């Protein structure tokens, strides 16, 4: 008799409870940061289009020690300095996903990783096709490849919908893998002439950082000054300074030991994430999103191959790449889709991933450095492409909002009030015993209220 076929894996199935709790806490901070990011972008657009002179003056104001090669403009401090904090958090997220999250199990990681790779390759191909047909520049191929998780969550907050945890985890994992490849793209394709002395110093600093972590040396006053030195050396080496943040984030331990409630990586991420989401990324947006938006500028975005390639890459390439990669991976790995969800749900999330704000703006600045006019046009294309993706995703998600609300309600229901959602206890006999006691208690209270309501008043209905 033939052995039974193995059970197909569930795609977008229920998350383990610890992973769900971590996801909820992380995305709550990112949602607040995303709203601040959205506000910062709007302020930048208004400022740049009403008081362009003052906007440029503030953005171009230089400060910092020139002797150390750090006499930078405010805009450069935001892009090279503050974004290092953002990439530090991204490094911790990636490390945690690799050792304790969705990327730990190669079989479970296959779907989101393939989806993310296809979601970066397809926009680059769309951009290349548009610019090949239009005789445009191929320098901006990497601009539409990134996903901005904070901006995507801000869109969800603004339209008033909440995704089930499996879809949110899928979106976060996509963004983490996206960040990894964006880091590699920046390191490989946007590294200028190398200063090997500074680069060697940066590597020595990173080695010392790692040794201190291994020796479990504690104290922010040790690590913060060292991190600043590493960042300064990395900046002067010719490698983009944000790589220093990623490297340090990847070095943190993200597994718990006996007696630990949270790993050091999770603890530090919890402390630094609000700084990244609430300050670093919004300030970067404030000094990078201020582009001139006029009828002529919008016309140019849709008529020039470089900018049209960016818009179509974000709007079409991202959605088609992520959805197509996910469907093919599920088809060939025999992963069964969660019956509570449908493939249009996956397409809606893939469309939402077309919001490529922060990293896309950064890559746009790096790709067209030296051509200020084209850089501004590419920034406008990123804004317009992200806006169109957000509008389309909002429409698709709103069509299923009632279903999502019902699924989220089921995930959060805790009738026995023990702090654990009931859906995670359904196979536990003790849970059913508690629930039976709760229902019996409620039934007894109901009977008692009914008896009191029907009882005769003093002196009423008594025999004479």
Q: Is the pLDDT of residue 457 over 90?
A: no
pLDDT band per the 50, 70, 90 thresholds, residue 416: low
Report pLDDT digits (tens) over 122-136: 999 999 999 999 998
Phi, psi dihedral angles at 337 (to 5 degrees): -70, 140
Q: Is the pLDDT of residue 119 over 90?
A: yes
Check whether residue 142 and residue 32 sit in a common domain. Answer: yes
Q: Is the pLDDT of residue 382 over 90?
A: yes
Helix (H, G, I), strand (E, B) or coil at 179: helix
Check whether residue 357 and residue 430 sit in a common domain. Answer: no
Place of tokens 């801000």: 154
Q: What sign for the dihedral angle of Cα 126, 129, 132, 133?
A: negative
Contact in structure between 39 and 54 (CB atoms under 8 Å): no
Average pLDDT over residues 34-57: 89
pLDDT band per the 50, 70, 90 thresholds, residue 14: low
Question: Would you state the pLDDT for residue 322?
Answer: 94
Question: Would you state the pLDDT for residue 371?
Answer: 86
Task: Please enumerate in sequence order all residues whose Cβ is within 8 A of that of 185, keeping only pairs 6 or more positions apart, or say none.
Answer: 142, 145, 363
Check whether residue 57 and residue 121 sit in a common domain. Answer: yes
Question: Would you state the pLDDT for residue 85?
Answer: 92
Task: Please enumerate in sequence order all residues whose Cβ is within 8 A of that of 345, keeping only pairs 6 or more positions apart, or say none.
Answer: 12, 167, 400
Question: Would you state the pLDDT for residue 20?
Answer: 67
pLDDT band per the 50, 70, 90 thresholds, residue 172: confident
Question: Would you state the pLDDT for residue 121?
Answer: 94
Report pLDDT digits (tens) over 307-322: 999 999 999 999 999 9
Place of tokens 């740049």: 48
- Residue 69 burial (CB < 10 Å; 0-12/13-18/19+)? middle
Kindly state the helix (H) or strand (E) to which residue 343 belongs, with its residue range. helix 343-352
Check whether residue 344 and residue 449 sit in a common domain. Answer: no
Contact in structure between 348 and 393 (CB atoms under 8 Å): yes
- Count CB-CB contacts under 10 A for residue 457: 7
What's the distance, Cα to Cα, between the start and end of the chain in Å? 85
| Backbone Cα Rg of the chain | 26
Residue 129 located in a structural domain: yes
Between these two residues, 382 and 105, which has the higher pLDDT value? 382
Please name which of 307, 44, 298, 11 lies closest in space to residue 167, comparing C-alpha atoms. 11
Q: What sign for the dihedral angle of Cα 91, 269, 11, 107?
A: positive
Place of tokens 């990783």: 113
What residues make up the domain containing 439? 422-454
Report pLDDT digits (tens) over 245-304: 999 999 999 888 888 888 899 889 889 988 998 899 899 999 988 888 877 778 888 999
Residue 162 located in a structural domain: yes
Question: Would you state the pLDDT for residue 33?
Answer: 82
Residue 249 located in a structural domain: yes
Check whether residue 338 and residue 439 sit in a common domain. Answer: no
Q: How many structural domains comprise the chain?
A: 2
Mean pLDDT for the chain overall: 83
Task: Please enumerate in sequence order all residues whose Cβ is within 8 A of that of 77, keeping only pairs 6 or more positions apart, or say none.
Answer: 63, 64
Kindly state the helix (H) or strand (E) to which residue 215 belongs, with its residue range. none
Contact in structure between 364 and 140 (CB atoms under 8 Å): yes
Check whether residue 45 and residue 171 sit in a common domain. Answer: yes
Check whether residue 317 and residue 385 sit in a common domain. Answer: yes
Contact in structure between 366 and 240 (CB atoms under 8 Å): yes
Check whether residue 369 and residue 436 sit in a common domain. Answer: no
Residue 460 located in a structural domain: no
Residue 366 located in a structural domain: yes
Between these two residues, 455 and 212, which has the higher pLDDT value? 212
Q: Model-level pTM? A: 0.80
Question: Would you state the pLDDT for residue 130?
Answer: 96
Tell me how far apart the alpha carbons of residues 29 and 273 are, in angstroms, rounded to a whole number.
7
Residue 298 located in a structural domain: yes
Check whether residue 284 and residue 390 sit in a common domain. Answer: yes
- The domain that holds 24 is classified in CATH as 1.20.1530.10
pLDDT band per the 50, 70, 90 thresholds, residue 429: low
Residue 229 located in a structural domain: no
Question: Would you state the pLDDT for residue 396?
Answer: 92
Residue 51 located in a structural domain: yes
Contact in structure between 202 and 226 (CB atoms under 8 Å): no
Phi, psi dihedral angles at 91 (to 5 degrees): -65, -40
Check whether residue 438 and residue 305 sit in a common domain. Answer: no
Q: Is the pLDDT of residue 392 over 70?
A: yes
Question: Would you state the pLDDT for residue 7?
Answer: 41
Q: What percent of the chain has pLDDT over 70?
A: 84
Q: Is the pLDDT of residue 6 over 60?
A: no
Check whether residue 163 and residue 97 sit in a common domain. Answer: yes
Q: What percent of the chain has pLDDT over 90?
A: 33
pLDDT band per the 50, 70, 90 thresholds, residue 403: confident
- Residue 208 burial (CB < 10 Å; 0-12/13-18/19+)? middle
Check whether residue 331 and residue 434 sit in a common domain. Answer: no
Task: Please enumerate in sequence order all residues whose Cβ is within 8 A of that of 271, keeping only pairs 6 or more positions apart, or say none.
Answer: none
Q: Which of 14-18, 88-92, 429-433 has the highest mean pLDDT?
A: 88-92
Average pLDDT over residues 85-89: 91
Least reliable range by pLDDT among 5-9, 277-281, 435-439: 5-9
Question: Would you state the pLDDT for residue 30?
Answer: 75
pLDDT band per the 50, 70, 90 thresholds, residue 406: confident
Kindly state the helix (H) or strand (E) to which residue 334 belongs, with its residue range. none
DSSP state of 89: H
Report pLDDT digits (tens) over 54-79: 999 999 999 988 888 888 899 989 98
């Amino acid at each position: 008799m033939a052995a039974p076929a193995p059970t197909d894996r569930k795609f977008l199935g229920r998350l383990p409870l610890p992973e769900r709790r971590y996801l909820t806490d992380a995305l709550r901070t990112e949602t607040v940061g995303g709203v601040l990011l959205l506000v910062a972008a709007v302020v930048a657009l208004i400022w740049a289009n009403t008081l362009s002179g003052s906007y440029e003056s503030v953005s171009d104001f230089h400060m910092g020690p020139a002797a150390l090669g750090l006499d930078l403009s405010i805009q450069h401090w935001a892009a090279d300095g503050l974004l290092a904090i953002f990439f530090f958090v991204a490094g911790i997220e990636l490390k945690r996903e690799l050792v304790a999250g969705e990327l730990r199990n190669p079989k479970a990681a296959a779907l989101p990783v393939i989806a993310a790779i296809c979601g970066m390759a397809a926009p680059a191909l769309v951009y290349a096709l548009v610019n090949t047909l239009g005789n445009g520049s191929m320098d901006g191929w990497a601009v539409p490849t990134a996903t901005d998780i904070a901006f995507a969550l801000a869109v969800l907050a603004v339209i008033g919908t909440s995704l089930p945890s499996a879809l949110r985890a899928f979106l976060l994992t996509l963004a983490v893998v996206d960040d990894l490849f964006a880091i590699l793209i920046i390191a490989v394709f946007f590294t200028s002439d190398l200063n090997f002395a500074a680069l060697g110093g940066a590597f020595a600093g990173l080695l010392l950082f790692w040794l201190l972590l291994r020796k479990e040396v504690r104290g922010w006053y040790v690590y913060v000054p060292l991190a600043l030195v590493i960042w300064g050396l990395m900046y002067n080496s010719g490698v983009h300074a944000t790589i220093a943040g990623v490297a340090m984030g990847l070095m943190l331990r993200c597994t718990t030991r006996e007696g630990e409630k949270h790993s050091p990586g999770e603890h530090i991420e919890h402390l630094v994430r609000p700084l990244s989401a609430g300050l670093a990324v919004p300030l970067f947006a404030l000094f990078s999103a201020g582009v001139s938006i006029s009828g002529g500028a919008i016309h140019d975005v849709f008529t020039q191959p470089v900018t049209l390639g960016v818009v179509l890459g974000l709007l079409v390439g991202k959605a088609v790449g992520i959805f197509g990669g996910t469907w093919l991976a599920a088809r060939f790995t025999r992963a069964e889709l969660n019956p509570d969800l449908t493939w249009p749900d996956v397409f809606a999330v893939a469309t939402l991933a077309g919001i490529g704000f922060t990293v896309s703006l950064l890559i746009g600045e790096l790709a067209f450095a030296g051509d200020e006019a084209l850089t501004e046009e590419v920034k406008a294309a990123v804004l317009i492409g992200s806006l169109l993706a957000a509008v389309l995703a909002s429409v698709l998600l709103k069509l299923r909002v009632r279903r999502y609300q019902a699924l989220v309600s089921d995930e959060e229901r805790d009738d026995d009030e023990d702090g654990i959602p009931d859906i995670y206890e359904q196979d536990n006999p003790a849970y059913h015993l508690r629930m039976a006691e709760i229902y019996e208690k409620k039934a007894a209270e109901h009977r008692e209220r009914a008896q009191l309501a029907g009882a005769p008043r003093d002196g009423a209905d008594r025999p004479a």
